Amino acid sequence: KPMGYVSGQAEDGHEPAVVLVTNENRWNEDRSKTRFNFSQLKGLAPCGRLDIDSVGLLVLTQDGRVARQIIGEDSEVDKEYLVRVTFGDRDVDVQSVFPEEKLALLRHGLSLDEQPLKPAQVDWQNPEQLRFVLTEGKKRQIRRMCELVGLKVVGLKRIRIGGVTLGNLPVGQWRYLAAHEQF
């Protein structure tokens, strides 16, 4: 999903990501033998949200069982994100000035909407970017978690949902899941 599209219903003049599912936007390296037909769009819905100002992997399905497996209340399917951050006026080498105890809070100890969050894996990918692995998906969760510890999110990209990775899929393009891919 590129920036500027919403994952669900159209809102505030922004189109839903499902409008990108066209033959023209199908990834030319998609190895699926399935032929695209516009009838496949009927009932197609996102499995979870990806904020309008976030990019990355968005799974669309017509199967409620798949959606429940990914985003249901009992789901243990993890989602992985790369999150570019700033800290105060620092936008380079953020890692060197960000307190370790605040990183520990991101991993476990924060609450949103008076609800404790499940533990998360949070580690530095590079001095300006964190890697988050979550098993829940509250509204704007990563951005709100970061705000609670003084970080500002300047870029957020989902790169994996369970065993399905974004890989080299270009922004704004789509592909069918392969038979061996599982959440």
Residues assigned a catalytic role: 51
H-helix segments, the chain: 64-71, 94-97, 100-107, 141-148
Number of other CB atoms surrounding residue 180 within 10 Å: 6
In whole angstroms, how far apart are CA 23 and each of 4, 34, 36? 21, 12, 6
- What lies within 8 Å, CB to CB, of 94 at 6+ separation is 85, 86, 87, 127, 128, 151
SS3 46: strand
Tokens coding 99: 């307190």
Name beta bridge partners: 36. Answer: none
